[in-house]
Chain A
Amino acid sequence: MATAATIRIQEADFDVAQEIAALSKGRTDIGAVVSFGGICRGSEQGEPIAALTLEHYPGMAEAEIGRHADEALARWPLQGLTIIHRFGRIAPGENIVLVVTASAHRQAAFEAAEFLMDYLKTNAPFWKREESARGTSWIEAQGHDDAAAARWTKS
């Protein structure tokens, strides 16, 4: 049976432990679960921030993440895949993003999770704006994120 990815774009918070349990519950074919959680830091470039606000492109966010989920499922033998990305105002310490991959063995789970995060950073249509004592400003894209995504391109 082909593995289907669970993809959610939501304003509400999520429970990491519950998402991991939902993926592996009742399964005996899964030997490895890898989860990556992205959390809002309390500072940007050394300056304290009050919160991040994430803007997204509804429709395209689901489509773009879905395309990368399909590619991950085609490239690695995954038994389960969950991707959750929040939008709206997120305070320091709160969850932003979650990728959970499940496979028979750890290598596929690790690699697929890393591949998905690298592409979420550079290709998923989300934009972070930070709030600090100096006002609000859009966070600039990082060149090293492009380099991280580029290393997965098949030559």
Chain B
Amino acid sequence: MKLKYFAWVRERIGKAEETVEPPAEVRTVGELIGWLAARDDGYAHAFEKPTVIRAAIDHAHVKPDAAISGAREIAFFPPMTGG
């Protein structure tokens, strides 16, 4: 699946997008955050406060308990500050 990162999540990870294949036991958005955070210091820094992180699956906001199965694109970003 394709992952996209925005704002300071993107800066801390050091890339705007990537394709990953998480193991089968990673079933939800929250579990995906945990799996990513263990990859290296950049990811750990980006996801150090998981409750702050917002996520979207295929362009729609989702909660941490959302299932990732079948997702084409998952995005992680800070709370939005548009408008």
Q: Which residues of A contact B (CB under 8 A)?
A: 38, 54-57, 59-60, 63-64, 67, 85, 96-97, 117, 120-129, 138-141, 145
Q: How far is the CA of A131 from the CA of B7 in the complex (A)?
A: 14
**In the complex, what's the smallest C-beta–C-beta distance from A129 to chain B, in angstroms?**
7
B61:A127 contact, CB within 8 angstroms? no
A60:B82 contact, CB within 8 angstroms? no
**In the complex, what's the smallest C-beta–C-beta distance from B33 to chain A, in angstroms?**
18
Question: How many A-B contacts are there with CB distance less than 8 Å?
Answer: 73
Q: How far is the CA of A123 from the CA of B77 in the complex (A)?
A: 12
B82:A56 contact, CB within 8 angstroms? yes
| In the assembled complex, B60 has its CB within 8 A of some CB on chain A | yes
Q: A55-B7, A57-B6, A57-B75 are in contact. Are A63 and B80 (CB under 8 A)?
A: no
Contact with A along B55-83 (1 / 0, CB 8 A): 01001110000000000000101111111
